[in-house]
Amino acid sequence: MTGGSALPGPDGRPRCPWGLSAEDYLEYHDTEWGRPVHGDDALFERLSLEAFQSGLSWITILRRREGFRRAFDSFKIASVAEFTGADRERLLADPGIIRNRAKVDATLANARVLAQWPEGELDALIWSYAPDPAGRPAPRTVGDVPAVTDESTALAKALKGRGVRFVGPTTAYALMQACGLVNDHLAGCVARAGCVARAA
């Protein structure tokens, strides 16, 4: 994301500039980004996709999301934890996903780690790092939106300390934004109020 305040979309209502850069982004911006996400499997999916996005544009991941879901059995932790060497080779040959060996291996390893956690623990751990929204003024421009925060740094450290791979402070913050731990829709964005209401 680069500088700028909210801009009018195709319906005339203002939105974050990045949400207007592609049709896929518009729907994602309006209906998903910043809405609270709960559930271990749902958060494992988001964590995995953010890791795959590292070094790439999010649109690249978004346009392959259904391919990722098919390839990783809808990111059900218990299922992915049982993937075999043959599954790994299948993933590395699958054109519907990003065939990055390190990222595939990290996703499989993370599933095996998370499968050992009690149900609800991933959800509880991630959400324990959500900052108090009262202490975060609404960003007025994209330039006001951070890439890393103290909370995302602490979350990445906590996940790594528990054996989760391929998650740094920037990836952790992108996860926090996408899953509604923070609301980084701009002050003038039509989607911001809906995220505030859902979080409440």
Helix or strand or coil: residue 152?
helix
Single out the residue of 191, 187, 155, 188 nearest to residue 174, CA to CA. Answer: 155
- Kindly report the number of other CB atoms within 10 A of residue 32's CB atom: 15
Which member of 18, 33, 45, 50 is catalytic?
50
User: Would residue 58 show up in a list of annotated catalytic residues for this protein?
Assistant: yes
Which member of 25, 28, 33, 129 is catalytic?
28
The span from the CA of 190 to the CA of 74, in Å, is 30
Helix or strand or coil: residue 71?
helix
Length of the chain: 200
Residue 170 contacts residue 155 (beta carbons within 8 Å): no
The span from the CA of 19 to the CA of 24, in Å, is 8
Burial of 80-102, coded b for 16+ CB within 10 Å and e otherwise, reads bbebeeebeeebeebeebbebee
Which member of 18, 58, 129, 173 is catalytic?
58
CB-based contacts of 102, cutoff 8 Å, min separation 6: 166
User: Would residue 33 show up in a list of annotated catalytic residues for this protein?
Assistant: no
User: Would residue 173 show up in a list of annotated catalytic residues for this protein?
Assistant: no
Active site members: 28, 50, 58
